[in-house]
Amino acid sequence: MIQRIAIIGLGTMGPGMAARLARGGLQVTACDVAPAAIERAKTMLSAAETVLDALGIATPATGAGTVRFTGDIAEAVAGADLVIENVPENLSIKADVYRAIDGLIAADTIVASDTSGIPITQLQAHISNPARMVGMHWSNPPHIIPMIEVIGGEQTAPETVQTIRDLIRSLGLLPVVVKKDVPGFVENRVLYALLREVVDLVERGVIEPEDIDTCVSWGIGYKLAVVGPMALLDMAGLDIYNSVSSFLNADLSDRKDVAPMIGRKIAAGTLGIKSGEGIYAYTPERIAELQRERARKLVAIRRILEGRD
Ligand SMILES: NC(=O)c1ccc[n+]([C@@H]2O[C@H](COP(=O)([O-])OP(=O)(O)OC[C@H]3O[C@@H](n4cnc5c(N)ncnc54)[C@H](O)[C@@H]3O)[C@@H](O)[C@H]2O)c1
């Protein structure tokens, strides 16, 4: 049974995960090599706790569900039943972490990676007892989005997948088992298929960015939160899907490289919110407002979808 969890890497994802796992009554040790990241993570943890309160997720019994911060990886993983590696999306950085913890953890300690798409089979080549390594892909913001992908690599034991799936279920979250270790797993494959098409439509001048955001959010997106795509096929009728896709599939973007529009924006230093401009332009005030507004709306929608409101 998993009770003690070490999270290695406290950037965008780590603090929200720590908050959610602790809310489930687990003992979390949160570790980062950068002291500034630890300080930032403490603030993010308390913000995530406020959001979890708003979501109506019950607090555990007194004394259960703790988060302890440390800059020392050996201290972080000591006695852990599960280590969640959450360092940058780079195989050599991740492999260094696995090598560092290998001699410090028990042979049966499960090692999970939050990688967004590096095949688990590649990652598990860098740790002993690869049967205990598994993908545990959270979605950002991790304390708000309840779906978590669970991915086994070629050498992952079925019991490892099952243990992580059961852990996620026991937290009241939604595990989705990805049966084959395909690049990008499933959530990002679907998202990137959508992103390829929307960038292509904007680049070809078919639609303005604001209008495609309205089209997708209030057309497909809003509906997809209630009816998943496979259920949508049944709702539309497979005969309708067959007639539309018989001419439309051939016209959809199938480019293998990245659209030039993205390269031009990167070359101009416009990377999105982090640089104050990307597809849209942002002031610091607008960024703060968007972050508050998006968290508030995601919480409100989730409460309604779960029948809490
Ligand atoms: N950001 C997202 O939206 C998102 C969503 C799902 C999954 N992921 C995946 O989660 C992982 C982490 O992503 P992120 O966006 O939180 O990254 P990030 O760059 O924001 O944070 C990574 C943290 O890891 C720390 N770190 C680096 N080396 C370390 C080491 N050896 N020991 C301890 N800490 C170390 C860094 O100091 C940094 O604080 C990546 O694999 C990413 O692909 C990200």
What is the C-alpha to C-alpha distance for residues 41 and 279, in angstroms, rounded to an integer?
Answer: 28
For residue 308, pLDDT over 90 is answered with no
* 127 & 204 share domain: no
| Amino acid letter, residue 209 | P
What is the C-alpha to C-alpha distance for residues 74 and 3, in angstroms, rounded to an integer?
Answer: 18
Please enumerate in sequence order all residues whose Cβ is within 8 A of that of 263, keeping only pairs 6 or more positions apart, or say none.
Answer: none
Task: Give the number of the atom of ligand 1 that is nearest the alpha carbon of residue 37.
Answer: 39
* 207 & 170 share domain: no
Residue in 190, 122, 187, 194 with CA at minimum distance from that of residue 149: 187
Nearest 5°: phi and psi at 256?
-95, -20
Residue in 141, 157, 162 with CA at minimum distance from that of residue 296: 141
CB 140 near ligand 1, within 6 Å: yes
- Domain containing residue 49: CATH number: 3.40.50.720
Residue where one domain finishes, among candidates 157, 178, 199:
178
What does each C-alpha distance from 253 to 183, 199, 211 come to in angstroms? 19, 9, 19
Task: Give yes or no for a contact between 139 and 16, defined as CB atoms under 8 angstroms apart.
Answer: no
* 28 & 155 share domain: yes
The number of helices, as runs of H, and strands, as runs of E, in the chain is 13, 8
pLDDT-above-70 percentage for the chain:
100
* 134 & 100 share domain: yes
**Into how many domains does the chain fold?**
3
Enclosing domain of residue 291: 269-309
**pTM: predicted TM-score of the whole model, two decimal places:** 0.95
For residue 143, pLDDT over 90 is answered with yes
Distance 13 CA to ligand 1 centre (A): 7
Give the per-residue pLDDT at 176: 98
CB 11 near ligand 1, within 6 Å: yes
Q: List the residue whose alpha carbon is closest to atom 3 of ligand 1.
A: 140
Residue in 206, 3, 264, 267 with CA at minimum distance from that of residue 109: 3
Is 263 inside any structural domain? no
Residue where one domain finishes, among candidates 161, 178, 195:
178
209-239 pLDDT, tens digit per residue, is 999 999 999 999 999 999 999 999 999 999 9
For residue 258, pLDDT over 90 is answered with yes
Token representation of residue 289: 């407002």
Is 195 inside any structural domain? yes
For residue 67, pLDDT over 90 is answered with yes
CB 13 near ligand 1, within 6 Å: yes
Question: What is the pLDDT of the chain when averaged over all its residues?
Answer: 97
- What does the DSSP 8-state code read for residue 60? P
* 172 & 43 share domain: yes
Terminal Cα distance for the chain, rounded: 33
Give the per-residue pLDDT at 136: 98
Give the per-residue pLDDT at 12: 94
CB 115 near ligand 1, within 6 Å: yes
Average pLDDT rounded to a whole number, residues 99-106: 97
Is 293 inside any structural domain? yes
Is 91 inside any structural domain? yes
Give the per-residue pLDDT at 62: 85
Is 239 inside any structural domain? yes
| pLDDT band at residue 309 under the 50/70/90 scheme | confident
CB 77 near ligand 1, within 6 Å: no
Pocket test for ligand 1, best of 7, 12, 144 (most atoms within 8 A of CB): 12
Is 194 inside any structural domain? yes
264-281 pLDDT, tens digit per residue, is 999 999 999 999 999 999
Is 39 inside any structural domain? yes
What is the C-alpha to C-alpha distance for residues 167 and 111, in angstroms, rounded to an integer?
Answer: 14
Nearest 5°: phi and psi at 158?
-55, -30
CB 89 near ligand 1, within 6 Å: yes
8-62 pLDDT, tens digit per residue, is 999 999 999 999 999 999 999 999 999 999 999 999 999 999 999 999 999 998 8
DSSP, collapsed to helix, strand or coil, labels residue 211 as helix
* 40 & 144 share domain: yes
Give the per-residue pLDDT at 13: 97
What is the C-alpha to C-alpha distance for residues 187 and 191, in angstroms, rounded to an integer?
Answer: 6
CB 8 near ligand 1, within 6 Å: yes
Rg for the chain, CA atoms, rounded: 21
CB 187 near ligand 1, within 6 Å: no
- Cis omega (within 30 of 0) for bond into 141: yes
* 66 & 144 share domain: yes
Is 249 inside any structural domain? yes
